[in-house]
Chain A
Amino acid sequence: MRKMYFIFMLCALLIITAACGKKEVSPRAIDEKNDKCAQCNMAVMDNQFATQLILKNGKTFVFDDIGCMYKWKSENKNENIEAEFVRDYHSKEWVESDKATYVYDQSIRTPMAYNVISFQDKKDAEAFISKNSGKILNFDQLQDHKWKMNKEMMEKNMQDGHTDMNGDHSHMDEGNDHSHE
């Protein structure tokens, strides 16, 4: 009798694990209280800069900046990545990273100053650029992007950056406010 029960439990466990295995990968919500960036240790805010990476074994990592995610990937090349998600700059919805359009500009403030933001729609990205400045990158171009925390460059271009910042303050404010939300 007890053996039967044991076998039953084992089967149940197996079924549960199997079911878990088949489940489609979907990004989890950001937990502002406890999530920290796997790369830079900073708290991850539930904002447009958050990204997420899911390994084949189901482990998830969250990052506070797209740059942090790419830095992590370059330092952990042998991890098996199942999926990666970035956020739409406006709606803050998760977007699969290869379907997103990216904008890079030194005047964009992101949490770790990698200065890249992501959009679900290419149109939104173009609209952002026409309103501000910047360069559109698609997913493939992003792979070749030189991830630099552009402090030195920004200082050299301080004057440009400065006028840029004030040029469209209303818009930049969103990006401006990285460490709070």
Chain B
Amino acid sequence: MKKLWYLIVFLMLFWTHPSSIHAESTLQYLIDQAPEHSIVRIPRGVYHESIVLSKPVTLQGNGQVTIQSCRKEPVISIKGQRVSVKNVTVIQCSQEKNAAAIQVSGTHHRIEHVHIRTKGIGIKLEHAYHTVITQSSIKGEKQHNGIDLWKSEQNVIEKVRIEKVRDGIYMEQSDYTTAVQNLIQQSNYGIHIMYSDHITIQKNISKNNVAGAMVMETKGGKIENNEFIFNNRNVHAQGILLFDATETKVVRNNISYNRVGILAESASNNLILSNEVRGNFIGIQFKEANGNIVSNNTFISNVNEAQALSSSDNEVKRNYWDASLKLDADGSGYSDIPYKTNPFFLSLTKDIPEYQLFFHSPGMVVLQKLWKSPDNEAMTDDSPLMTAKIQDESKSSSGVIIVFSLLLFLGSITLWRIGRKKEDA
């Protein structure tokens, strides 16, 4: 009972104190006073409070404006419609789970030039529609998603830089979401799509994540001109995963230096066209994925170009495979020798994944001959492209190498000369 009294007294102190004295200077007060459709200009400074925007106003920082809060509530809550937030830095330092820096619901909001540092979620959209998030940044602590969409539709995320979060952009049941020109790095999954149809993912860069993009349970999406690169650190890392995705177009992406470039599992009726798949440990991997079209892609420098298991029913044609034997007798530009991928490694490691230790081992050649892998399960490109369509990347300077090789040459020739000398000399 006594404790309760203390608590009440404490709460009264806590709550009444700022509101009675400083109420006029809080942002919330400014916002509450502002008429609808007006612009609330915030003077430069650091504001320790969490605010709610529930009517159509524009909140704009003049100069360096930081809004900071360590409470469970979102630092900025946006509700209703046509709210804009511009030019502010938002810091959410609450350790509570699910704490968001900005929470959005309603329609036609705009978040622009907002820079977020958060221990929780960056921007959480729940039942938000037609909202635009642009030219902003989010830096997290790897625990929560950068932008989390839940049952939100027709939202646009563009030119947002997201770092060190769980999933960069996570969308669940959020149809018609558009993500353009974002950069997502050092996170768990770059872009994670779940049960969201007709999404558009264009010109994003997703690198150094566990997965560039997880495209799951989706239909009718467009994934174009993105870069999914250097997603190779985790033991399950991949450039792009298509899981139970249908009618999705994966076109003209650069999918390079990942553990697995494209992994398609239980995915059907997708179009994988004109992608550059380069330098991955495994270029493309199909597991029980059928009815897809894989065409005009360029596979270069992948340690293992393609693996397919129970995925014979795809239309694979006119891709460039640098490992394929090429012979073009009729000058069509396409090779007459089909390129057949081998399901061997996948079927070997399917039941006992530990055997992945033998990946690209020199002795696998022998095992491959002995191993009976079902022939009809392989993925076959009937008319591989003769020449690759790629743009040259810049080359590194070779001075150091020349110096190194000269030193090595001098060293070894000295050893050689000593060996050749008359023994008594």
Contacts and interface: CB of A to CB of B under 8 A. Distances in A.
Given A42-B216, A162-B127, A176 B98 contact: yes
B236 A40 contact: no
B381 interface: no
30 contacts: A34-B234, A34-B235, A34-B236, A40-B216, A41-B214, A41-B236, A41-B243, A41-B263, A42-B214, A43-B188, A43-B236, A112-B194, A113-B172, A113-B194, A113-B195, A149-B195, A151-B173, A151-B195, A154-B173, A158-B151, A162-B127, A173-B97, A173-B98, A176-B98, A177-B97, A179-B145, A179-B167, A180-B143, A180-B145, A180-B166
Interface of B: 97-98, 121, 127, 143-145, 148, 151, 166-167, 170, 172-173, 188-189, 192, 194-195, 210, 214, 216-217, 234-236, 241, 243-244, 263, 265
A24 interface: no
A149 B217 contact: yes
A140 interface: no
A30 to B, nearest CB: 14
Contacts of B263: 41
Nearest to B354: A59
Interface of A: 33-34, 36, 40-43, 112-113, 149, 151, 154-155, 158, 162, 173, 176-177, 179-181
Contacts of B236: 34, 36, 41, 43
For A154, A177, A181, which residue has the most chain B Cβ atoms within 10 angstroms?
Answer: A177
Nearest to B144: A180
B97 A179 contact: no
A177 B143 CA distance: 11
Contacts of A113: 172, 194-195
Contacts of A162: 127
Contacts of B170: 179
A177 B98 contact: yes
B107 to A, nearest CB: 15
Main secondary structure of the interface of A (DSSP, over half): loop
Given A41-B216, A149-B195, A176-B98, 7 more contacts: A36-B236, A40-B243, A40-B244, A41-B241, A43-B236, A149-B217, A180-B121
B95 to A, nearest CB: 13
Nearest to B173: A151
Given A41-B241, A154-B173, A181 B234 contact: no
A34 B235 CA distance: 6
Contacts of B151: 158
Contact of A179 (B166, B173, B241, B243): B166
Nearest to A35: B236
Nearest to B238: A41
A138 B206 CA distance: 43
A43 B235 CA distance: 11
Given A40-B243, A177-B97, A151 B217 contact: yes
Contacts of B172: 113
Contacts of A41: 214, 216, 236, 241, 243, 263, 265
A149 B243 CA distance: 14
Contacts of B121: 180
B240 to A, nearest CB: 12
A40 B214 CA distance: 11
B58 to A, nearest CB: 27
B387 to A, nearest CB: 34
Nearest to B216: A40
Contacts of A151: 173, 195, 217
A113 B218 CA distance: 13
* Shortest 6 CB-CB contacts between residues of A and residues of B: A180-B144, A151-B195, A36-B236, A177-B98, A180-B166, A173-B98
Nearest to B351: A59
Nearest to B148: A179
Contacts of A155: 173
Nearest to B175: A155
Nearest to B352: A59
A180 B121 CA distance: 9
B152 to A, nearest CB: 12
Contacts of B166: 179-180
A176 B144 CA distance: 12
A179 B145 CA distance: 8
A176 B170 CA distance: 13
A127 to B, nearest CB: 21
A20 to B, nearest CB: 16
Nearest to A33: B234
Contacts of B235: 34
Contacts of A154: 173
